[in-house]
């Protein structure tokens, strides 16, 4: 792709002389930070192992939506959040709405065995996508390869 005028690189994005900024290129998998939110220890273990197997070493876990929100309140940021729906204390729907209201721009993918109206409501809470539990890595590969640009709104968000 031909460059127009001068350019400089900063943090992986390229600023062209006209002042426009390219969408940040994909980050290496090893540098991605992922948060797995699920109340079941076994599910957290499986999801984490899948991500580590894919080359992502920085994987945090949270046992419910409130813990996930608290992580963000304390300054944590993630490239991708895998969010279960049915959890005690704060479910995935409430947590996703809360995170979006806080201005969290991370890709949030719902992971649930629910369907129908429940899934529709979950998507509308601010998810970028929703996959069935258990998921296979190919279903979330897009979000691992291309973290969402700050200017792209969540796919299903209805403010």
Least gap, CB of 130 to other proteins (angstroms) = 14
The packing angle between helices 137-145 and 41-54, to 10°, is 60
What distance in Å separates the CA atoms of residue 126 and residue 124, rounded to the nearest whole number? 5
Measured between alpha carbons, how far is 138 from 73 in angstroms, rounded to an integer? 31
Q: Is residue 86 a contact residue for other proteins (CB under 8 A)?
A: yes
- Tell me the window of 12-20, 65-73, 120-128, 129-137 that interacts with other proteins (CB under 8 A): 129-137
Min. distance of Cβ 35 from other proteins in angstroms?
Answer: 18
Nearer to other proteins, 82 or 104 (CB): 82
Q: Provide the minimum distance between the beta carbon of 58 and other proteins in the complex, in angstroms, as a whole number.
A: 17
> What DSSP string runs through 88-153?
SSS-HHHHHHHHHHTT--SEEEEEES--HHHHHHHHHTT-SEEEESSP-HHHHHHHHHSPPPTTSP
Positions in 6-65 near other proteins (CB under 8 A):
39-43, 45-46, 49-50, 53
Tell me which residues touch other proteins (CB under 8 A).
39-43, 45-46, 49-50, 53, 84, 86, 112-114, 133-134, 136
């Amino acid at each position: 792709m031909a460059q127009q005028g001068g350019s400089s690189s900063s943090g992986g994005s390229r600023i062209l002389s006209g002042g426009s900024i390219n969408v940040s290129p994909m980050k290496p998998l090893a540098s991605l930070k992922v948060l797995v939110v699920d109340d079941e220890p076994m599910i957290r273990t499986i999801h984490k192992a899948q991500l580590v197997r894919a080359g992502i070493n920085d994987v945090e876990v949270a046992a419910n939506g409130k813990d996930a929100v608290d992580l963000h309140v304390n300054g944590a940021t993630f490239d991708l959040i895998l969010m279960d729906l049915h959890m005690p204390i704060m479910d995935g729907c409430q947590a996703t709405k809360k995170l979006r209201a806080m201005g969290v721009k991370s890709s949030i993918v719902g992971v649930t065995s629910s369907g129908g109206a429940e899934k529709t409501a979950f998507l509308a809470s601010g998810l970028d996508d929703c996959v069935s539990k258990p998921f296979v890595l190919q279903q979330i590969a897009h979000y691992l390869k291309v973290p969402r640009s700050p200017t792209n709104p969540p796919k299903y968000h209805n403010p």
